[in-house]
Amino acid sequence: MNKFKVCVEQYHDLAASLLQTGGGEGREDDFFMAIERGDVEGVKCILSSIQPLDIKSWVNLKKADETRDTPLIIAASRGYPELVKLLIQMGADPTVTNANNITSLHVTKDNCRELIIKSATRTPSKTTALITSSWLGNKFTVEDILKRGQVDVNTRNLDYFTPLLLVTRDIQIFDKISFDDTVEYDPVHVAAELISYNTNVMKACDDLGRNAVHLAAGHTGPTAQKLVDLLLNNCVDEEVELKDSRANTPLHYATQSGDREIEKGDILRYIFL
């Protein structure tokens, strides 16, 4: 098993144990109840009672029910801007999904959307900023981070996605969002920057064995088309013909995604040329 994946699993196990043993016995329900009520002071009180190094584990914990919602998903979906702001400041990762592959941005109320979009600029961690800004397709922030160098472009979020995988994962939700002038949404440019910085980013797969070509081919629309073109121009045969954990290739994803004749044609031409 991949070392990073093991590390992530241990991270979630640690988070759960912290809430159920010595430092946090019986407090998981209290924590999520405070989140669901939008009780900022209650959340602050609970977080102040644990070790600083463990706070990130708490704010990214997935609820132990069928939803697997994170605190940020709950707070954003209920429209609690002050709580959303606090969770982001404490290290909540907006790129993490629940059991239905939904992020906080998918379900957020209007009064919390801007806080999530701007989260990449509010973290002191260069790694976290790269992950979040890549997911957001934020051209300015990604360019700035890569220009400064000394960053791992194959770093993973808590769901085992690299920056390039995140660029291609949620294209359609971002195509529907209006960004202000401080966030230039350009996922194709971001993907190109990541590939240019280190071509090994094309080899990365998520925990289901899907690479960036799989994910981009599964979307519709002009942004997805441009991403597919970019990825095909920068990959090798093995990456186009790669089978995921269900034995599906990128061509399968393109075929299943709807009206994708151009993309299907592109992938077929790549394979057979």
Angle (CA) 63 69 74, round 5°: 110
Would you say 198 and 180 are in contact if contact means Cβ atoms under 8 Å apart? no
The CATH topology of domain 1-120 is: 1.25.40
* Residue 155 · residue 114 · CB < 8 Å: no
106: buried, middle or exposed (CB in 10 Å: 19+, 13-18, 0-12)? Answer: middle
How would you write the pLDDT of the chain (273 residues) with one tens digit per residue? 554 454 445 445 444 444 444 444 468 899 999 999 999 999 999 999 989 989 999 999 999 999 999 999 999 999 999 999 999 999 999 999 999 999 999 999 999 999 999 887 777 788 989 999 999 999 999 999 999 988 999 999 999 999 999 999 999 888 888 776 666 889 999 999 999 999 899 999 999 999 999 999 998 888 998 999 999 999 888 888 899 999 999 988 888 866 444 454 565 555 434
Return the bridge partners of 87, or none.
none
Level-2 CATH architecture, domain 123-273: Alpha Horseshoe (1.25)
CB contact set of 2 (below 8 Å; sequence gap of 6+): none
**Partners of residue 185 on adjacent β-strands:** 138
Give residue 258's pLDDT.
62
Torsional class of 238: left (φ above 0), alpha (ψ -120 to 50), beta (otherwise) = alpha
Tokens 């196990």, residue located? 13
Alpha helices in the chain (DSSP H): 3-20, 28-37, 40-48, 55-59, 71-77, 81-89, 104-107, 110-117, 126-135, 139-148, 163-169, 171-175, 187-197, 212-217, 222-232, 237-240, 250-256, 261-272
- In this predicted structure, what is the pLDDT of residue 251? 87
Q: For position 4, what pLDDT does the model report?
A: 47
Q: How far apart are CA 221 and CA 187, in angstroms?
A: 13
Q: Which residue has the tokens 């059991």?
A: 99
pLDDT of residue 79: 98
**Domains 1-120 and 123-273 belong to one CATH topology:** yes
Structural domain boundaries of the chain?
Answer: 1-120, 123-273
pLDDT at 268: 52
